[in-house]
A and B are shown apart, each in its own frame.
Chain A
Amino acid sequence: MAKIKVLYFASLREQLGYAEDIIDVPQAGFDIQSLITLLGEKKPQVKAVLTETPRLRAALNQTLVSFTTAVKPGDEVAFFPPMTGG
């Protein structure tokens, strides 16, 4: 097992009431979607927020990625709603 840092922003952070999780994940064969599933199993509150956010976005080490992107120990994953800058 290895640890991954998970960050939540904007409406996700607000609904959860906190901004960060540290979660143990298997060493290999793990992607963003697997992380969402694992988070959901361990934390029902996170599952609700992630599944109820329309057009959920994910970033891996501060780069936007698809949910099929592999994650590895030490990575930083962030979840957030579509961006609304400008």
Chain B
Amino acid sequence: MQHVVVQEAAFDVGHEYTRLAELSDHVGGVSIFVGCVRDTAGDLQSLTLEHYPGMTEKMLQNLSAEAFERFHLAGCTIIHRVGTLGVGSPIVFVGAAAAHRAEALQATAFLIDKLKTGAPFWKCEQFKDGRRVWVEAKAADDEAAAFWS
């Protein structure tokens, strides 16, 4: 099972966990990562996520298929939100179900590391004083993605 969605609406972590956990009796572990809007200095109003419709879904489906094959998964879920989100709001859900924990944990790390720099999303921060700043890509994110190459 591979489930890839780009949406504005919030997602239900419990529902997504159950979908992965109940896939098959062979599932021995489900790993989940949820990324949310961080306010580092206490001055963030909201975060807006823009994307490239069509290409985004294609890139996420490619990533899901790669993880599914590479880590022998029973299930893989990627849900990425777009639009304007408040501080603390969940942005992205990545989940992997596998027979053993190592594959599930590695697949989750692989998916989020690759997704950050490999799918066409862009973050713009809106601050309480009215400033708007496009988030710059971090070298550490490129290095994390390269780790899996």
Contact = CB atoms under 8 A, between A and B. Distances in A.
Task: Answer yes or no: do A and B interact.
Answer: yes
Interface of A: 7, 9-11, 14, 55, 59, 62-63, 78, 80-86
Given A59-B52, A62-B54, A83 B134 contact: no
Contacts, number: 73
A59 B52 CA distance: 10
Contacts of A55: 137
Pick the most buried of A10, A14, A82, A83: most chain B CB atoms within 10 A of its CB: A83
Contact of B119 (A11, A81, A85): A85
Contacts of B92: 85-86
A77 B26 CA distance: 44
B9 interface: no
Q: Is the interface of B mostly helix, strand, loop or mixed?
A: mixed
Contacts of A11: 122, 134
B130 to A, nearest CB: 15
Interface in B107-149: 112, 115-124, 134-137, 141
Interface residues of B, number: 27
Interface of B: 35, 49-52, 54-55, 58, 80, 91-92, 112, 115-124, 134-137, 141
A10 B117 CA distance: 14
Given A55-B137, A62-B55, A10 B119 contact: no
Given A10-B50, A85-B121, A62 B58 contact: yes
20 contacts: A7-B52, A10-B134, A11-B122, A14-B134, A59-B55, A63-B58, A78-B52, A81-B122, A81-B137, A82-B117, A83-B137, A84-B116, A84-B134, A84-B137, A85-B80, A85-B116, A85-B120, A85-B121, A86-B35, A86-B115
Given A10-B134, A11-B134, A85-B92, A80 B54 contact: no
A31 B91 CA distance: 36
Contacts of B54: 62
